[in-house]
């Protein structure tokens, strides 16, 4: 059996502090246990590339993605992925990733760093204290070599260029410069990547061209839906994962693993 569609799931935080775009570590473990127990295989971004180019993917393939690159991904998600032999991708805001020794994760036992909710994380970044809530390159490297995560771009500065630049030519120049910096940072630290996820899911006419010129060929959105071989590489769909396991999680995988089911479901919900 081969897959007709690849669900791409979207996470942000995995932490014990409840809040926006957050899954509790206990829920995350239940979700991963479900994947492993029900025979799901976690694809990498390269598998998605091959699938969109016409290659076959095993049935029950799923791509797990995390946005931004929070410290909690290392503290809580990394040990669970290792436990179940699963794999995921993180889209890093490369300008928010710092240096310094790797901290402790939950799989090591003992005390782990405090991982705040989304609001507090944003406040820390705004106050110039990103290191308290974001990954360090040493942790990125530890996860990459352990095989739990691969890393791609979520831009360098995570901005809304449309709000910061009224003039569209200036906006595109600023975006091009940012994407160039992000791609260079990834290439210098890890390996060059052609995969980019738009901050806030925001994109407009002309953005894809700027991304293409910067070397990004696979662009991830926050539009819900299944990805089939016909999905344009510059409009990859993703599904938000809520802090729910059990039947809810299982049904998302089934829905977005079948193109027709997903389309029917979204039509019934009044969304295309
Ligand atoms: Zn983001």
pLDDT tens by residue, the chain, 272 residues: 788 999 999 999 999 999 999 999 999 999 999 999 999 999 999 999 999 999 999 999 999 999 999 999 999 999 999 999 999 999 999 999 999 999 999 999 999 999 999 999 999 999 999 999 999 999 999 999 999 999 999 999 999 999 999 999 999 999 999 999 999 999 999 999 999 999 999 999 999 999 999 999 999 999 999 999 999 999 999 999 999 999 999 999 999 998 888 889 999 988 65
- Distance from Cα 92 to the centre of ligand 1, integer Å: 8
pTM score above 0.95: yes
* Alpha carbon distance 270, 239 (integer Å): 16
Residue 2 has a pLDDT of 87
* Alpha carbon distance 165, 157 (integer Å): 14
- Phi then psi for residue 197, to 5 deg, are -115, 130
Q: Residue 78 carries which DSSP code? A: H
- Compute CA distances 168 → 45, 126, 172, 207, 214, whole Å: 31, 26, 6, 10, 17
Beta bridge partners of 9: 64, 239
- Distance from Cα 56 to the centre of ligand 1, integer Å: 30
* Alpha carbon distance 115, 129 (integer Å): 13
Residue 271 has a pLDDT of 60
- Distance from Cα 269 to the centre of ligand 1, integer Å: 26
What SS3 class is residue 209? helix
- Distance from Cα 205 to the centre of ligand 1, integer Å: 20
- Distance from Cα 118 to the centre of ligand 1, integer Å: 11
Residue 102 has a pLDDT of 98
- Distance from Cα 152 to the centre of ligand 1, integer Å: 12
Question: Which tokens belong to 93?
Answer: 């805001």
Question: Which tokens belong to 246?
Answer: 């059990």
- Distance from Cα 69 to the centre of ligand 1, integer Å: 9
- Distance from Cα 158 to the centre of ligand 1, integer Å: 7
Which domains does the chain show, CATH number per domain? Answer: 8-268 (3.20.20.370)
Q: Are 135 and 70 in contact (CB under 8 A)?
A: yes
Q: Are 203 and 221 in contact (CB under 8 A)?
A: yes
* Distant-in-sequence contacts of 181-188, Cβ < 8 A, 24+ apart: 181/94, 181/95, 181/156, 182/94, 182/95, 182/153, 182/154, 182/155, 182/156, 183/153, 183/214, 183/215, 183/216, 185/94, 185/95, 185/97, 185/156, 186/92, 186/94, 186/151, 186/152, 186/153
Residue 196 has a pLDDT of 98
Residues with CB under 5 A from ligand 1 (ion): 67-68, 199
DSSP 135-149: -BHHHHHHHHHHTSE
């Amino acid at each position: 059996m081969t897959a007709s569609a690849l669900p791409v799931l979207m996470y942000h935080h995995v932490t014990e502090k409840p809040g926006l775009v957050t899954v509790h570590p206990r829920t995350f473990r239940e979700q991963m246990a479900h994947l492993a127990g029900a025979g799901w295989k976690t694809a990498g971004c390269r598998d998605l590339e091959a699938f969109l180019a016409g290659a076959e993917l095993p049935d029950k393939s799923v791509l797990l993605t995390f946005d931004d690159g929070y410290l909690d991904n290392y503290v809580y998600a990394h040990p669970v992925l290792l436990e179940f032999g699963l794999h995921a991708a993180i889209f890093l805001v490369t300008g928010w990733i710092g240096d310094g020794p790797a901290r402790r994760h939950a799989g090591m036992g003992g005390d782990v760093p405090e991982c705040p909710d989304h609001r507090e994380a944003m406040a820390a970044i705004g106050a110039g204290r990103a290191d308290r809530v974001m990954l360090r390159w040493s942790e990125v490297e530890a996860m990459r070599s352990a095989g739990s995560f691969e890393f791609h771009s979520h831009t360098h500065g995570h901005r809304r260029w449309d709000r910061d630049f009224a003039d569209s030519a200036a906006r595109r120049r600023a975006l091009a410069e940012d994407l160039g910096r992000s791609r260079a940072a990834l290439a210098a630290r890890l390996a060059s990547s052609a995969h980019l996820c738009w901050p806030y899911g925001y994109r407009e006419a002309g953005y894809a061209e700027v991304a293409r010129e910067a070397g990004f060929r696979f662009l991830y959105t926050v539009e819900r839906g299944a990805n089939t071989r016909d999905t344009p590489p510059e409009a990859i769909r993703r599904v938000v994962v809520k802090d729910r396991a059990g039947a809810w999680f299982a049904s998302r995988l089934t829905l977005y693993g079948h193109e027709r089911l997903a389309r029917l479901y979204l039509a019934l919900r009044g969304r295309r």
